[in-house]
Amino acid sequence: MNFVVNRVNLSKASNSNKIEKSENIRYKVQQAVEFARQRKSSPITNKANTRIIYLADGLNMSVRSYHKVLSVARSIADLELCEAVKTEHIDEAFLYRVGDKAT
């Protein structure tokens, strides 16, 4: 996965009361891992499936890239403890493709 990281305004970044604590993030990740472990399948809604196919075709993505985006979308859904992959998960996963030019 590749990310584009923009410069941050240091005065905003130093405001520590809005920063999520590491313990909270760790707990959410542990919940997502357990949720994924107990999940029996990886359903995707019809709208999400239509969206990923439309975007993949429009961007001439390889099958490998398609599966990478779908995998990231599944991880996002797991973090939200959501059984099915939805369009918002697909859209967010595509945002993380910025700079991913290799595949």
Cβ pair 85, 44 in contact under 8 A: yes
DSSP characters for 44-60? B-HHHHHHHHHHHHHTT
Residue 96, both tokens: 């993380």
Residue 103 scores a pLDDT above 50: no
What is the model's pTM?
Answer: 0.75
CATH topology for 41-103 is: Helicase, Ruva Protein; domain 3 (1.10.8)
Confidence band of 42 (pLDDT split at 50, 70, 90): confident
Give the mean model confidence (pLDDT) for residues 93-102. 74
The 10s digit of each residue's pLDDT in 82-94 is: 999 999 999 999 9
